[in-house]
Amino acid sequence: MTQRRTVSIFLAVALATGLSAVSACKGTSSSTVDASPDAISPAAETDAGDAEPAKLLRRTKADLNRAVPQDGTDGLSRVAVAEDPVRGYVEWKFQREGRDVVAIIIVDVTHDAIARSRFEGVSEKVNDYPVVTFGEHQSSLLVAEKFQVKATSLSLDHEARKAWLAKCDLASLVSQK
């Protein structure tokens, strides 16, 4: 097993464990991600006294998921992987016959100056948004100085990953600025 795969598995287990612990502390059960873009997670259901945070969670989750290409795009199945509506993170994989082809990840980088700085002075663009390559398997773009949209794939080259980034509804992210 490669070191990258080992680290990925470790992070996935750590995230799942942390989310389960947080859910247990809040008195809610952990659940899987609902594939519908307008679904509301159990964490978004709060008491009337917390009405404003619940409203924020619903909006963030629905809007980030809406930006991801739909199930059936290029004949691939869309599978939910992870989300954190509080921090602004969603991850979806697109599979063919159960094998991963590409993952689309959207992260709110409002408070991450280092992530945003990676796009400074970049001339390559996708739909007028700066795009960069990280390593051999990831291409990312920055939308409205707020959202980093990533396409990762072990089988697709940079041009194919850029095409997947272009399939995302980036305008829906701009409206969240």
Question: What was the pLDDT predicted at 176?
Answer: 78
Percent of the chain topping pLDDT 70: 64
Q: Which of 102, 106, 56 is nearest to 83 (CA)?
A: 106
User: What does the pLDDT average to over 142-161?
Assistant: 96
Q: Residue 87: which pLDDT band, with cuts at 50, 70 and 90?
A: confident
Rounded distance between C-alpha atoms, residue 102 and residue 152, angstroms? 6
Cβ neighbour number for residue 139 with a 10 Å cutoff: 27
Is it the case that residue 61 has pLDDT exceeding 80? no
Question: What phi and psi, each to the nearest 5 degrees, are found at residue 40?
Answer: -115, 125
Q: 27-31, 59-63, 81-85 — which one is most confidently predicted on average?
A: 81-85
Cβ atoms of residues 61 and 80 within 8 Å: no
User: Out of 16-20, 91-95, 112-116, 129-133, which region has the weakest mean confidence (pLDDT)?
Assistant: 16-20
Strands in the chain per DSSP E: 77-84, 89-96, 99-108, 125-126, 129-134, 138-143, 147-152
Cβ neighbour number for residue 103 with a 10 Å cutoff: 20
